[in-house]
Amino acid sequence: MTAPPPQAPEPGLAAIPERVATVRSRIAAAAERAGRDPAEVTLVAVSKLHPSAAVRAAYGAGVADFGENYAQDLAAKAALLPEAHWHFVGRLQRNKAAVLIAVAALVHSLDSLPGAEALARRAMRAGTVARALVQVELERRAAAHGVPAADLEDFVAACRRVEGLELRGLMVMPAPVADPEEARPLFRRAVALSRRLDPGMRALSMGMTADYEVAVEEGSTLVRVGTAIFGPRMGSPMGSRMGSRPKKEGK
Ligand SMILES: *Cc1c(COP(=O)(O)O)cnc(C)c1O
pLDDT band at residue 236 using 50, 70 and 90 as cut-offs? low
Indicate if the alpha-carbon torsion angle 81, 145, 219, 18 is positive or negative.
positive
pTM of the complete model: 0.91
pLDDT band at 232 (very low <50, low <70, confident <90, very high): very high
DSSP β-bridge partners for residue 107: 88, 132
Strands of 15-103 (E only): list them: 42-46, 65-68, 85-88
In the reported structure, the alpha carbon of residue 140 is separated from the centroid of ligand 1 by a whole-number distance in angstroms of 20
pLDDT at residue 7 in the model: 55
Q: Determine how β-strand 147-148 pairs with β-strand 165-171.
A: unpaired
Residue closest via CA to ligand 1's atom 4 equals: 226
Residue 85 has pLDDT above 50, yes or no: yes
Integer Cα distance of 92 and 78 in angstroms: 18
pLDDT at position 243, please?
A: 42
What would the mean pLDDT of 221-249 be, rounded to a whole number? 69
Q: Which atom of ligand 1 has the smallest separation from the CA of 230?
A: 8
Other beta carbons less than 10 A from residue 232's beta carbon: 12
Task: Determine whether 38 is exposed, middle or buried from the number of CB atoms within 10 Å of its CB (0-12, 13-18, 19+).
Answer: middle
Looking at the CA of residue 228, tell me the nearest atom of ligand 1: 9
Q: How far is CA 131 from CA 61, 77, 110, 119, 213, in A?
A: 27, 20, 10, 9, 26
Distance 204 CA to ligand 1 centre (A): 15
**Atom nearest to 224 CA in ligand 1:** 10
Mean pLDDT of the 26-44 span: 98
- Whole-number Å distance between alpha carbons of 227 and 109: 20
Closest residue by CA, ligand 1 atom 14: 242
Give residue 205 CA to ligand 1 midpoint distance, Å. Answer: 11
The predicted model gives 237-241 an average pLDDT of 42
Mean pLDDT of the chain: 91
Q: 3-state DSSP helix/strand/coil percent for the chain, to nearest 5?
A: 45, 15, 40
pLDDT digits (tens, 9 = 90+) for 150-186: 999 999 999 999 999 999 999 999 998 899 999 999 9
Nearest atom, ligand 1, residue 209 CA: 9
CB-side neighbour CA atoms (13 Å) of 222: 28
At 201, is the secondary structure helix, strand, or coil? helix
The C-alpha atoms of residue 99 and residue 30 are separated, in whole angstroms, by 35
Q: How far is the CA of 197 from the centre of ligand 1 (A)?
A: 25
| 8 A C-beta contact, residue 230 and residue 17 | no
Ligand 1 pocket test, candidate residues 46, 68, 133, 245, most atoms within 8 A of CB: 46
Q: Which residue has the higher pLDDT, 251 or 81?
A: 81
* CA–CA dist 221, 207 (Å, integer): 9
Please report, for residues 96, 103, 129, the alpha-carbon distance to residue 126 in angstroms, rounded to integers and kept in the order given: 14, 12, 8
Q: Which residues line ligand 1 (CB under 6 A)?
A: 46, 48, 69, 89, 173, 208-210, 224-227, 242-243
Instruction: Write the residue with the smallest CA distance to atom 13 of ligand 1.
Output: 89
Confidence band for 11, pLDDT divided at 50, 70 and 90: low
Tell me what the mean pLDDT of segment 216-229 comes to: 98
- Tens digits of residue pLDDT in 89-128: 999 999 999 999 999 999 999 999 999 999 999 999 999 9
Query: Distance between CA atoms of 17 and 25, rounded to whole angstroms?
Result: 12
- Atom index in ligand 1 nearest the CA of residue 44 equals 10
Q: What percent of the chain has pLDDT over 90?
A: 84
Give the position, in ligand 1's atom list, of the atom nearest the Cα of 208.
9
Question: CA-CA distance, 44 to 89, in Å (whole number)?
Answer: 10
Quote the DSSP letter at residue 8: P
Distance from the alpha carbon of residue 9 to the mean position of ligand 1, in angstroms: 25
For ligand 1, atom 7, the nearest C-alpha belongs to 209
- pLDDT band of residue 246 (cuts 50, 70, 90) is very low
